[in-house]
Amino acid sequence: PEKGRFRITGGLQVTPEFTALLVGLGLSASAGIAEIVRAGILSVGRGQWEAARSVGLHDRQTMRLVVLPQAMRVIIPPLTSSYLSTFKNSSLAIAIGYPELFNIYGTIANQTGHSLEGIVIVMASYLVLSWIISGLVGLANDRLNKRGAMR
């Protein structure tokens, strides 16, 4: 942005639609992910906490060394689903005016009259991006399994 004589011009402009999308998806996803992590931590038995304290670990050490490695096996699968749902829910943003991938569809439909091909391209884009998200979280899950954190 540049300071003019009477106002500031240029810079990034954030539309109200994008702000609504960001806040709505952000709050929804963060609440779901927080619940997943909370449930994963609570799934670790009380005996594990007590055993860690009995060997002299502080609460932070107990969480990092004992609880989280066990909780990750419970957290990872629903977390993957939550990430994928958030990504797919972003496609609903077209309803509030945020175009996202649908610009591709609109261009194809308007210039060629072939709307089916445009929908197939949008669907394929979401499929590929969903596979990428699933693959990355799967790699993280495999890495945790190989380290022995989930055994």
DSSP string, 43-109: TS-HHHHHHHHHTT--HHHHIIIIIHHHHHHHHHHHHHHHHHHHHHHGGGGGGGT--TTHHHHHHHH
What integer is the mean pLDDT of 40-62? 94
Q: pLDDT grade, residue 151 (50/70/90)?
A: very low
| Residue 128 CB neighbours (<10 A) | 10
Rounded distance between C-alpha atoms, residue 45 and residue 120, angstroms: 47
At residue 37, the pLDDT reads: 95
pLDDT digits (tens, 9 = 90+) for 98-144: 565 667 677 777 888 777 877 787 788 878 888 898 888 888 888 87
Q: pLDDT grade, residue 147 (50/70/90)?
A: low
What's the mean per-residue pLDDT of the chain?
A: 83
Which helix (H) or strand (E) segment holds residue 9: the answer is: strand 8-9
The reply to whether the predicted model has a pTM over 0.85 is no
Q: pLDDT grade, residue 13 (50/70/90)?
A: confident
pLDDT digits (tens, 9 = 90+) for 86-100: 887 877 666 655 565
Rounded distance between C-alpha atoms, residue 111 and residue 114, angstroms: 8
Give the chain's radius of gyration (CA, Å): 22
For residues 123 and 102, is the Cβ–Cβ distance under 8 A?
A: no
Q: Is 8 strand, coil or helix?
A: strand
